[in-house]
Structure 1
Amino acid sequence: MNTVAVQTFSRQRLCICAFLIIVTSAVAPTVVTAQPLTSFRYETQAQAHCPDDSVVWLDFRKEVYYLKRQKKYGRGWTGSFVCRKEASDSGFRHSLLGVR
């Protein structure tokens, strides 16, 4: 290879590398930290933990929480009692089903 071809190849390679760095830094995801979620076996424990917040039943498998007036509140093997604000801050959603 002659020197002109080597210089052209090096410039192209440098441009491609710079382009990839710019593109990946522009679309790189931001750092997300998990919110602390304290789960309790009994409703009274959760209420003592968050006296100014309502207690909900969080179903970990379905990733939803139920309010006290809902049918599935306190039922199931894959859930526990948590504070409503902690559940919503952790990314769990409110279930619209089973309202009494």
Structure 2
Amino acid sequence: MSWTGFGKRSGALAVAVAILIGAGGDTGALATPLTPFRDQAQAQRHCPQDQVVWLDFRKGVYYGKRQKRYGKGFDGSFVCLSEARDSFYRRSLLGLR
């Protein structure tokens, strides 16, 4: 067997293993699905026991009600805080004092 054939086979094997590892089993790191809302009141009705935040999809952060960018921008939506955190979005530190 030549080294070029070995490289192709081992590359294909590595891809197959990566696919199996990524698709196999419950890893516990799966994100909770987000339920985005255009209106703050709709989001609050969806999760009455939770805080509503503005999620900026493009930046991957969320803003609380007292922050300047809350409810601003075209690339965002209102969501429940617990859903944003479970989906691995991080809190923006801009405007917190």
**Same fold, TM exceeding 0.5?**
yes
Q: Percent identity?
A: 60
Which of the residues 82, 85, 88 maps onto 1:85? 82
1:29 CA displacement: 5.5
Is 1:50 paired with 2:47? yes
Between stretches 74-83 and 30-39, larger displacement belongs to 30-39
Is 1:62 paired with 2:59? yes
Q: Deviations over 1:13-51 (max 9, x none)?
A: xxxx9xx99xx69xx568553321000000000000000
Q: Select the structure of larger CA radius of gyration.
A: 1
Distance in structure 2 (CA, Å) of the matches to 1:78 and 1:35: 20
Aligned residues: 80
What is the SS of the residue equivalent to 1:65? strand
Displacement over 2 Å in runs of 4+:
28-34
**Long gaps (5+) in structure 1:** 1-16
Is 1:95 paired with 2:92? yes
**Long gaps (5+) in structure 2:** 1-9
Amino acid at match of 1:55: V
